[in-house]
Amino acid sequence: MVDWLIVAAVSGLGPTRIQQLLSHMDVGELRQRLEHEKHSLPLPSQTLATLHVNFPKVEQALAWLASADNHHILTLSDDQYPTLLTQISDPPSVLFIKGDIHKLLLPSLAIVGSRNASPAGLEIAHTLAGQLAYQGLAITSGMATGIDSAAHKGALAQGGTTNAVLGTGIEQIYPKRHLDLYHQIQQSGCVLSEYWPDVKAFAANFPRRNRIVSGLSVGTLVVEACRKSGSLISARLAMEQNREVFAVPGSVIGGYHQGCHDLIKNGAKLVESAADIMEELVSLIDFHLEDVCSRHHIQADNNCNLPFPPLLASVGYETTSIDAVVEHSGKTIDLVLVQMLELELQGWVAAVPGGYVRLKRS
């Protein structure tokens, strides 16, 4: 961990440059060169002149880590570092986290939108976040006013998991009015930041954190956005990261939904209900859970005490036909019938006219 903290504490090095250097050497060698042979690094001389290791920062970070049980620092080489985030072009070298770090293993959907959202937009974000959290997705957003906070609160209202990516240091609550929300999120999931704990609000940091919001998630939903909305940065980043993008349409009057309409014209899926999202994400969620199981040596049938997770994920809270279950699960119909019977006996699903319905969430 110390190697990573020292590398991250070097002025003049950002995530992209660090990734470039790590393609030539491991983090231990990079630390050694930064401390003792920085001019041997394959960097422009102008950049080399600015490099300086801020050791007090490292000491402060380690003191912060030791100050509370729910304080965590994840580096790119840690097993618990979110897999999806490692796949973006410029993942943070270090993440500072407060809360339940294990909730970062859950498949996540990012929900973003206008800070000055309409009452209808806030209600839609709250409702969709609650429905999706109820179905086992973690809801990720940026704890900003407007759509972000409505999404966090919607997930919390259903007893679900929500994670907040801050554009400040982990100990800097912005906006201040979200103090209670900041603490509630830590009980349900976690707050996290790539910035050192005491970094205050700075305008340029907020767009940068958006790559983490989308990078943590299998998809990004934009609820309400005008054409100049910052939330469209998250949508663009999600597309660049090869993630799914969803958008809620709205009135053509006033321009409050133009950004969403543009996204839909450019291929984002139009969303009217949580089912529109879940039907697109089932296979991605299954793949994510299987990857988590393999990385953490978890038996698939015991994951989160769920029997047959891919099969269960194929059954909705409205009637799902047996043909749909077979198609979404990728299993043979004989195996599906046997496993559905076991799920029924355990109380996870019920047989109804036309197929099955799910009775409880994971």
Asked if residue 95 is part of any domain, the answer here is no
Count structural domains, the chain.
3
Asked if residue 81 is part of any domain, the answer here is no
Look at residues 185, 199, 208 and name the one whose alpha carbon lies nearest to residue 64: 199
* Boundary-marking domain end, from 49, 67, 85: 67
Q: What is the mean pLDDT of residues 9-27?
A: 91
Verify that 168 and 247 share a domain, yes or no: yes
State pLDDT tens for residues 23-79.
899 999 999 999 999 999 999 888 898 899 999 999 999 999 999 999 999 999 998
Verify that 107 and 254 share a domain, yes or no: yes
Verify that 248 and 303 share a domain, yes or no: no
Q: Return d(Cα 278, Cα 82) in angstroms, integer.
A: 21
- 43: Cβ contacts below 8 Å, ≥ 6 apart: 17, 21, 51
Instruction: Check: CB of residue 232 under 8 Å from CB of residue 225.
Output: yes
Q: Return d(Cα 291, Cα 294) in angstroms, integer.
A: 5
Q: Where does the pLDDT of residue 311 fall: very low under 50, low under 70, confident under 90, or very high at 90 and above?
A: confident
Verify that 237 and 312 share a domain, yes or no: no
Q: Return d(Cα 241, Cα 344) in angstroms, integer.
A: 38
Q: What is the mean pLDDT of residues 272-300?
A: 75
Asked if residue 96 is part of any domain, the answer here is no
Residue 151 belongs to domain spanning: 101-278
In CATH, what number is assigned to the domain containing residue 271?
3.40.50.450
User: Considering the entire predicted model, what is its pTM?
Assistant: 0.80
Asked if residue 86 is part of any domain, the answer here is no
pLDDT at position 201: 95
Verify that 16 and 119 share a domain, yes or no: no
Verify that 139 and 22 share a domain, yes or no: no
Instruction: Check: CB of residue 136 under 8 Å from CB of residue 362.
Output: yes
Asked if residue 331 is part of any domain, the answer here is yes
Q: What is the mean pLDDT of residues 196-219?
A: 95
Verify that 210 and 145 share a domain, yes or no: yes
* For residue 125, pLDDT beyond 90: yes
Q: Return d(Cα 162, Cα 104) in angstroms, integer.
A: 9
Verify that 162 and 209 share a domain, yes or no: yes
